A and B are shown apart, each in its own frame.
Chain A
Amino acid sequence: MKIAVCIKRTPDSESRFKIAPSGTGIDETGLKFDIDDFASYAVEVALRLNEKEGAGETVVLAVGPDALQETLRKAMSMGAERAIQLKCDSQPFDGLAVAKALAAELAGGGYDLVLFGKHAFDSSAGIVGTATATLLGIPCVTAVSQLEIAGGRGTARRDLEGVSELVTFSLPAAVTIDEGIARPRYPSLKGIMGAKKKPLEIKPAHLGAIRVVVSSMALPPERPAGRIIGEGPGAVPELVRLLQTEAKVL
């Protein structure tokens, strides 16, 4: 199958963040970047589907500046055959603009499947997958935790609150990937060296107008310190009184 996986470069999710002096984003100094978690699951899903078939091509795409190339090479070191950087000065927050750039590249590319992470952990917007699918005029199934493809049709499992549903669809289609699919492989050392020889195309990103921007970003207010009322059953009456009169939750 010809599978496209659209990925995003995000900071390592375990980093501690500070707001940048501009106040419109995070301070990137000293941060480690990698493929966004859900997007890396999507890369893994694509690789496994093609491994199962014994044939096919996995192409990774991303929209943004040259710093992305390292992230695209990471996906190629996992096994993706080709990468495309849709180049622009900075990674737009506007999901529709990103979707337009991706759809412009993907249209007519003969992709059987286009995969995305369910959402990026930094923006948590979840727009790009569904918007790109709409622009391409293909069906989209979101938050998929298990995916099988056979005979030009897909079966996807979605894990909802307390229940799972199975969705079937025909190809070509777009799928956004959730957790539940097994862990993404770490690149082998040969994979890392081999990625340097795989093709990475750089093309301009056709974003159209950017209509949504982040105007300011701030850390949440600090939680006030907890108060220890007392110990043992003797402390309960006072606790109840405070919950009624101070916290006003009873």
Chain B
Amino acid sequence: MQDFFNIESQLSEDERAVRDSVRRFVDERVLPIIGACYVEGRFPRELVPDMAALGVFGANLPEEYGCAGLNNVAYGLIMQELERGDSGVRSFASVQGALAMYPIYAFGSEDQKRRYLPRMAAGEVIGCFGLTEPDFGSNPSGMITMARERPDGTWRLNGAKMWITNGSTAQIAIVWAKTNGNPDDASIRGFIVPTDSPGFKAKDQKGKLSLRASDTSELVFDHVELPADALLPMSGGLKSPLMCLTQARYGIAWGALGAAMACYEEALSYGQNRVMFGRPIAGFQIQQERLADMLTEIVKAQLVSLHLGRLKDAGTFTPQQVSLAKRNNVSIATDIARESRRLLGAVGILAEYASMRHMANLESVYTYEGTHDVHSLILGQAVTGLNAFQ
């Protein structure tokens, strides 16, 4: 993609090198197969070892745990490039890094970190994140999954989670549950639950028309017994899973930008080649206006993402800033994908082209990790001081 605003000049050599490596991986390994995977409804698991070798899992976590130790702009660029390929592939990496590895890093004991993080970076242990329930999506504080502690420190877990990316693929699930019969969200703790535990069931959710190249599953915990060391000791209250979501949302803001870029490039290229009424359709005024709109939104989103990444690296960013970026970038990406699909005309409905796949995927990205509207309320509360959630 032409670097219209010379954003390149704002990236360090490392950041550019990281982006270029992941871009090459996506071009060579993801793009050739992803249309077919999407149609089949299959996550390309065979890519996981090479994604791990590339170093994309938990890439912004420290080297001492086997991770790449990159800064947050580089992490964002990884997500951008992965989602330029497919939102489902990027979701796998987001869940593994920001929602499974990060909670262990942030709330786990040193023993848990050493036991899990290096193997997760290597793709040998896959994780998933169990927060959302069938009846509690936008309102996670209402969750009913419950863990009860015994005198000997072991736990019994009961409940269900839904819409869990990697749920059927994962070896461990980071499950958020209220504890000891207390319905208040202050009682929420996090647990590392091995998916082969008796009473743990994962079931693929069928019939998806979006994020088809991704494992989306429901989880059921039927008297699952957990040892004392399954608890993430530093976790406590709703704040803990929300911190994980902030990490993931940051990556998603960049990822959506990648999807937008892929659609824009596809539209531009097609428009320059498709001849109608004696000239390329990109030479007609209506299409040029559309391309100009797409380009403008992409540039704005790039600058939002880059600045947010620098704030995150400086340690001064806020979750509300991440909300602004996620909400904006996903919204513009859905518009760009749809307009690109339309510019492609008839071929735009084929899986051979990326735009409609991105368009469908982005509906999930719009809805998950805080729907667009939830982020509107987060921003509304941030600027007015007034809570409009209920």
Q: Which of B60-118 contact A (CB under 8 A)?
A: 63, 68-70, 74, 78
Q: Which of A30, A188, A192, A193 contacts B53 (CB 8 A)?
A: A188
Query: Is there a chain A Cβ closer than 8 Å to B18's Cβ?
Result: yes
Whether a CB of chain A sits under 8 angstroms from the CB of B279 is no
Q: Does A73 contact B (CB under 8 A)?
A: yes
Do A189 and B13 have beta carbons less than 8 Å apart?
A: no
Complex contacts, A132 vs chain B, CB 8 Å: none
Are the CB atoms of B3 and A74 closer together than 8 Å?
A: no
Q: How far is the CB of A150 from chain B (nearest CB, A)?
A: 28
- Chain A nearest Cβ from B265, distance in angstroms: 14
Is A77's CB under 8 angstroms from B55's CB? Answer: no
CB distance from A128 to the nearest CB of B (A): 26
Instruction: State the Cβ distance, B142 to closest chain A Cβ, in Å.
Output: 39
Q: Say whether B3 contacts A192, CB under 8 Å.
A: no
Kindly identify, within residues 65 to 81 of chain A, every residue whose CB is under 8 Å from any CB belonging to chain B. Answer: 70, 73-74, 77
Those of A55-107 within 8 Å (CB) of chain B: 70, 73-74, 77
Chain B 4-28, CB-CB to A under 8 Å as 1, else 0, gives 0000000001100110111011000
CB of B13 within 8 A of CB of A188, answer no
> Could you tell me if B18 and A186 are in contact, using CB atoms closer than 8 angstroms?
no
Determine whether A190 belongs to the interface, using a CB cutoff of 8 Å to chain B.
Answer: yes
Q: What DSSP secondary structure best describes chain A's contact surface? A: helix
Considering the chains assembled together, what is the distance between the CA atoms of A196 and B3 in angstroms?
26
**Whole-angstrom CA separation of A24 from B25 in the bound complex:** 36
**A126 CB-CB contact with B under 8 Å:** no
The answer to whether A189 touches B25, judged by C-beta atoms less than 8 angstroms apart, is no
A77 to B18, alpha carbons, bound, how many Å? 10
B56 at the interface (CB under 8 A from A): yes
Using a Cβ–Cβ cut-off of 8 Å, how many residues does chain B contribute to the interface with A? 21
* Cβ contact within 8 Å between A30 and B17: no
| Shortest beta-carbon distance from A9 to chain B in Å | 13
Contact of A187 with B69 in the complex, beta carbons under 8 Å: no
Measured CB to CB, the closest approach of chain B to A69, in angstroms, equals 9
A192–B18 touching, CB < 8 Å: yes
Q: Which of B3, B22, B59 contacts A30 (CB 8 A)?
A: B3
Report B6 CB to chain A, min CB distance, Å.
8
Known: A30-B3, A193-B68, A193-B70. A186 touches B25 (CB 8 A): yes
For the complex, give the distance between the alpha carbons of A246 and B236 in Å.
Answer: 86
Q: Within 8 Å CB of A30, what residues of B?
A: 3
Are A70 and B13 touching (Cβ within 8 A)? yes
Give every chain B residue within 8 A of A77 (Cβ-Cβ): 17
**CB-CB contacts below 8 Å: B253-302 with A:** none
Query: What residues of A have a CB within 8 angstroms of the CB of B21 in the complex?
Result: 186-189, 192
Kindly state whether residue B54 has any CB partner on chain A within 8 Å. Answer: yes
A188 touches B14 (CB 8 A): no
Q: What residues on A are CB-neighbors of B3 within 8 Å?
A: 30
Which of B3, B20, B63 has its CB near the most chain A CB atoms (within 10 A)? B20
Contact of B24 among A70, A186, A190 (CB under 8 A): A186
Nearest residue, chain A, Cβ from B121: A190
Please measure, in the bound complex, the distance between the C-alpha atom of A73 and the C-alpha atom of B14, giving whole angstroms. Answer: 10
| A196 near B53: Cβ-Cβ < 8 Å | no
A43 nearest CB across to chain B (Å): 15
Q: Do the beta carbons of B17 and A188 come within 8 Å of each other?
A: no
B54 touches A188 (CB 8 A): yes
Q: Nearest chain-B residue to A187 (Cβ)?
A: B21
Within the assembled complex, what's the spacing in Å between the Cα atoms of A189 and B69? 9
Separation in Å of the A144 CB from the closest CB of chain B?
A: 24
**Contact across chains for A190 and B17 when beta carbons are under 8 A apart:** no
In the assembly, what is the distance between CA of A188 and CA of B3, in Å?
A: 24
Chain A residues within 8 Å of B25, by CB? 186
Give the residue name and chain of the A residue nearest to B22 (CB): A189
Q: Is the CB of A189 within 8 A of B24?
A: no
With a CB–CB cut-off of 8 A, which chain B residues contact A187? 17, 21
How far is A77 from B68 in the complex, measured between Cα atoms in Å? 13
Cβ-neighbour of A73 out of B13, B18, B55, B56 (below 8 A): B13
Q: Inside 8 A of B53's CB, which chain A residues have their CB?
A: 188
> Given A186-B21, A186-B24, do A192 and B54 touch, yes or no (CB 8 Å)?
no
A193 to B21, CA, bound (A): 12
Alpha-carbon gap, A196 to B18, bound state (A): 13
A74 to B59, CA, bound (A): 19
Contact A190 B13 (CB under 8 A): no
Q: Which residues of B contact A73 (CB under 8 A)?
A: 13, 17
Question: Using Cβ atoms and an 8 Å threshold, which residues of chain B touch A188?
Answer: 21, 53-55, 68
Q: How far is the CA of A74 from the CA of B13 in the complex (A)?
A: 10
Q: Which of A73, A77, A193 has the most CB of B within 10 A?
A: A193
Nearest chain B residue, comparing its CB with the CB of A29:
B6
- New contact pairs (10) apart from A73-B13, A192-B21, CB-CB < 8 Å: A30-B3, A186-B25, A186-B54, A187-B17, A188-B54, A189-B54, A189-B68, A189-B74, A190-B69, A196-B14
**Chain B residues proximal to chain A, CB less than 8 Å:** 3, 13-14, 17-18, 20-22, 24-25, 53-56, 59, 63, 68-70, 74, 78
Nearest 10 Cβ contacts at the A-B interface: A189-B55, A189-B68, A186-B24, A186-B21, A192-B17, A190-B55, A188-B55, A190-B68, A187-B21, A70-B13
Q: Which residues of A approach B to under 8 Å, CB–CB?
A: 30, 70, 73-74, 77, 186-190, 192-193, 196
24 contacts between A and B (CB under 8 A): A73-B17, A74-B17, A186-B20, A186-B21, A186-B24, A186-B25, A186-B54, A187-B17, A188-B55, A188-B68, A189-B21, A189-B22, A189-B54, A189-B55, A189-B56, A189-B68, A189-B74, A189-B78, A190-B55, A192-B17, A192-B18, A193-B14, A193-B70, A196-B14
